[in-house]
Structure 1
Amino acid sequence: MSEETKYFAPAVIYPPGEDLADKLEEMGIDANDLASRIGRSQKTINDILNGKCSITLDVAIDLECVTKIPAEYWMHRQYSYSNFIASKKREKGFGSILEWMKNFPLQEMLKRKWIDAVQAAADKVQPLFKFFAVCSPKAWENYYYKQQLKVAFRISLAESRDPYAMSVWLRRGEILADEIAMEKIPDKKVRSNVKNMLPEFIALAVKSPSVTAPEFSKTKKKLQALCAKANIKLLYVENFKTAPVHGASRWYKDVAVIQLHDGFETDGGFWYTFFHELGHIVLHGKKDMFLKNVEYRSRDLVKDAEADAFAQKQIAAVGDGGKKL
């Protein structure tokens, strides 16, 4: 089967009721007779014949008994027709969706292979929708821009310089976090783990090569392993020029997550940001989310200062160990 044949889509798909009407005519019975035979109202049958009512599985099974046409056929026809109608409905708002998509760093996302390339214009919206796990621009707006799901964030990305790129960065972290299996344990236990393991974090920072050295990749993996030991998911996600966020910390699906920019140019920038986000996990609540190097009105300056103090204390300990940051 050729690709053209495999993906052929007719310009128009008629409701399955038209097939049913043809079959009834062939059998020499009318809608009222069919309604009596399958125990449905005449209105329901007329609505099916006119495409105003969908054929359910129960109805399809009953139709098979009367018409001898398999229920699978009726369900397939109904699916094809419903999908056709839904596609037409989406096409009406296609122009505005394409305009909305222009706000996102799509070329960079393609380059990083965060979304898949598509050829057909009608399919271009699907990779972005799938990336965010939403079905419309409105759903994206409610979740990310207006932060209606406050369990996810305590900030509104509408307050950031580029909320679109910021949402991409955060969502990429969610995708990576979902790929890591980790037990959910009480937040008090996580904080206790971190406090007990601080010497290990500091020792790793002392021994760490420069962030610009090829060997630093091994340090990043070791740091991820240490965080996992403390029951924290540590993620590295490259940011965007319009959203130069350095780090974020939050509890995602009841597991502590630290997300760092994957491309620090200085040792101090990397380790300070890591310890800053670690400080938020240790010191602050599960419903809070914090972004570093991003200005937003709802930013909690007190908690940010506490995380700074925590980071400074750990950096000082790194310095005492002979490592200058």
Structure 2
Amino acid sequence: MQKNKDAIVWGITPPGAFLEEKIQEMGIDVNDFAARIGYTPKTVNEILKGKCCITIEVAHSLDYATGIPVSFWLNAQKGYEEELMRLQVKEAVKNQAGWRKFFPISELNPRTWIKDFNNKEDGVSPILKFFGVASPKAWENYYYKNRLKVAFRISLAETEDPYAASVWMRRGEILADEIKMEKQNDKKVRSAIKKAMPQFVELAKNDVAAWEDLRRKKALPKPKVGEDFIDDGMHKLQELGAKLGIKVLYAQNFKSAPIHGMARWYKDIPVIQLHDRFKDRNAFWFTFFHELGHIVLHGKKDIFIKNVYYGNKNQQKDDEANAFAQKYMMQAGLEV
């Protein structure tokens, strides 16, 4: 498709339109102007129609001939190309509109995770920007087919709802990026965690006791729909984790992907992501200790997800994390 035709269809003004006005203002024809800048009339006509882009060399020639600075011509060319690309991408995205329907729309609507989620132009671009991918195909390769193993390491193809699971996991990455923390040495972190286990046990014991007291008083907090929830005990756990070089994150899961927790090393920092509204506080702490067990016992290259089956799941490591969690739940005097 020719650029001048694109400009007519989409209403975009190519930089050549400004040049055409200037040539008319100068009172000369294309042949005369071409001779002044050292180009053929054919080349000038192609610039006027948007078929030939304005390079730095051409911009300098136009500067001398018209008195309009180089920066104007280069910015006009850049703006024209950006607008063309934006609209081309928009057209391509329209063909992928059905992709959006696979995501848990009804549960995402109340949340503020995806900026401009319900824009009127298209419902796909906001999702692509949320995931940081260029196309639905790129999302599929990264999350579903696991082609980028170095980056993601697991496949969600075998989960019941890979779309919902990927949203929850990506939400964790975004939350992790918001917390500034230096990269961690895995051996030092594991050593620090082992020394701090009595603190985790004491925190768990006190938190469950406080939770049960609120339950008796019928004063348990009620998380609002669509809002991230962090109570006092969850905040204290986050603070203790940060002191040891661990990011502890909370994000509401989805009905079709009821993930309880996840452990991973993200950008060389251990991250534990938990569902933010467990009805059973014992289950909350068991899940935390389970994910902490993965950080302590297992390598940096794996991602572990609790309560959802996924490709490449290592049952032996999962059993080891369960045993780790049971040990410290018992030390805290909590039910497993």
Provide TM-score, normalisation by structure 1. Answer: 0.85
- The alpha carbon displacement at 1:261 in A equals 0.6
User: Judging changes above 3 Å, is the alpha-carbon distance between structure 1 residues 119 and 108 closer, same or farther for their aligned structure 2 residues?
Assistant: closer
Decide whether the 8 Å contact of 1:23 with 1:67 is kept in 2: yes
- Residue 76 of structure 2 corresponds to 77
Structural mapping, 1:122-161, within 5 Å: 122-161=121-160
**CA distance, structure 1, for counterparts of residue 117 and residue 288 of structure 2:** 37
- The alpha carbon displacement at 1:11 in A equals 4.6
Aligned equivalent of 2:331, options 309, 317, 323? 317
User: Judging changes above 3 Å, is the alpha-carbon distance between structure 1 residues 318 and 120 closer, same or farther for their aligned structure 2 residues?
Assistant: closer
Deviations 1:83-121 (A, max 9, x none): 332244234334432110111123422311112346753
**Residue identity in the other structure for 1:140:** W
Q: Choose 101-110 or 17-26, whichever is displaced more.
A: 17-26
Structural mapping, 1:33-48, within 5 Å: 34=34, 37=37, 47-48=46-47
- The alpha carbon displacement at 1:44 in A equals 6.2
- Residue 210 of structure 1 corresponds to 211
Decide whether the 8 Å contact of 2:99 with 2:124 is kept in 1: no
**Residue identity in the other structure for 1:279:** G
User: Judging changes above 3 Å, is the alpha-carbon distance between structure 1 residues 254 and 62 closer, same or farther for their aligned structure 2 residues?
Assistant: farther
The answer to whether structure 1 residue 263 and structure 2 residue 262 are counterparts is no
Aligned equivalent of 2:320, options 302, 306, 313? 306
Decide whether the 8 Å contact of 2:258 with 2:308 is kept in 1: yes
**CA distance, structure 2, for counterparts of residue 267 and residue 137 of structure 1:** 38
Decide whether the 8 Å contact of 2:37 with 2:62 is kept in 1: no
The answer to whether structure 1 residue 86 and structure 2 residue 85 are counterparts is yes
**CA distance, structure 1, for counterparts of residue 124 and residue 118 of structure 2:** 11
| Structure 2 spans left out of the alignment, 5+ residues | 1-8, 223-229
User: Judging changes above 3 Å, is the alpha-carbon distance between structure 1 residues 198 and 130 closer, same or farther for their aligned structure 2 residues?
Assistant: same
- Residue 279 of structure 1 corresponds to 293
- Residue 257 of structure 2 corresponds to 243
Report the 3-state secondary structure (helix = DSSP H, G, I; strand = E; otherwise coil) of the residue aligned with 1:93.
helix
Decide whether the 8 Å contact of 2:131 with 2:170 is kept in 1: yes
- The alpha carbon displacement at 1:19 in A equals 3.1
**CA distance, structure 2, for counterparts of residue 317 and residue 50 of structure 1:** 77
**CA distance, structure 2, for counterparts of residue 123 and residue 58 of structure 1:** 38
Q: Choose 202-211 or 161-170, whichever is displaced more.
A: 202-211
- The alpha carbon displacement at 1:26 in A equals 4.9
- Number of matched pairs: 312
**CA distance, structure 2, for counterparts of residue 135 and residue 196 of structure 1:** 44
**Residue identity in the other structure for 2:276:** D
User: Judging changes above 3 Å, is the alpha-carbon distance between structure 1 residues 56 and 284 closer, same or farther for their aligned structure 2 residues?
Assistant: farther
**CA distance, structure 1, for counterparts of residue 301 and residue 103 of structure 2:** 27
**CA distance, structure 2, for counterparts of residue 136 and residue 81 of structure 1:** 23
User: Judging changes above 3 Å, is the alpha-carbon distance between structure 1 residues 30 and 132 closer, same or farther for their aligned structure 2 residues?
Assistant: same
**Residue identity in the other structure for 1:180:** I
Decide whether the 8 Å contact of 1:152 with 1:287 is kept in 2: no
**CA distance, structure 1, for counterparts of residue 35 and residue 261 of structure 2:** 64
- Residue 224 of structure 1 corresponds to 238
Structural mapping, 1:43-62, within 5 Å: 47-57=46-56, 59-62=58-61
Report the 3-state secondary structure (helix = DSSP H, G, I; strand = E; otherwise coil) of the residue aligned with 2:96.
helix
User: Judging changes above 3 Å, is the alpha-carbon distance between structure 1 residues 222 and 31 closer, same or farther for their aligned structure 2 residues?
Assistant: farther
- The alpha carbon displacement at 1:164 in A equals 0.6
Q: Choose 17-26 or 246-255, whichever is displaced more.
A: 17-26
Q: Choose 221-230 or 24-33, whichever is displaced more.
A: 24-33
- The alpha carbon displacement at 1:206 in A equals 1.1
**Residue identity in the other structure for 1:210:** W
- The alpha carbon displacement at 1:30 in A equals 4.2
User: Judging changes above 3 Å, is the alpha-carbon distance between structure 1 residues 23 and 296 closer, same or farther for their aligned structure 2 residues?
Assistant: same
Deviations 1:262-301 (A, max 9, x none): 1111122111110110011111111110100011231011
Aligned equivalent of 1:297, options 311, 314, 336? 311
- The alpha carbon displacement at 1:303 in A equals 1.0
Decide whether the 8 Å contact of 1:110 with 1:116 is kept in 2: no
**Residue identity in the other structure for 2:307:** N
Report the 3-state secondary structure (helix = DSSP H, G, I; strand = E; otherwise coil) of the residue aligned with 1:205.
helix
Report the 3-state secondary structure (helix = DSSP H, G, I; strand = E; otherwise coil) of the residue aligned with 2:249.
strand
